[in-house]
Amino acid sequence: MRIILILFAAFLLAGCGKKPEASAPVTQAQSTVEPTANNQGTASTTPVVALSGVTNAVQAGPDLNQLHRAVLRWILSNRRPPKDFEDFAATTDYQIPPPPLGKKYALDKHMHVILLDQ
Whether 78 maps to a domain, the answer reads yes
Whether 48 maps to a domain, the answer reads no
Helix (H, G, I), strand (E, B) or coil at 60: coil
pLDDT at 118: 87
pLDDT in tens, the chain (118 residues): 666 656 655 555 565 555 555 555 555 555 555 555 555 555 555 555 554 544 444 456 788 999 999 999 999 999 999 999 999 999 999 999 999 999 999 999 999 999 999 8
Whether 106 maps to a domain, the answer reads yes
pTM of the complete model beyond 0.75: no
Angstrom distance (rounded) from CA 74 to CA 82 = 8
Q: Are 111 and 81 in contact (CB under 8 A)?
A: yes
pLDDT at 84: 93
Whether 47 maps to a domain, the answer reads no
Show the domain range for 77: 64-117
Whether 45 maps to a domain, the answer reads no
Number of domains in the chain: 1
Whether 20 maps to a domain, the answer reads no
Which distant-in-sequence residues (6+ apart) come within 8 Å of 43 by Cβ?
Answer: 35, 36, 37
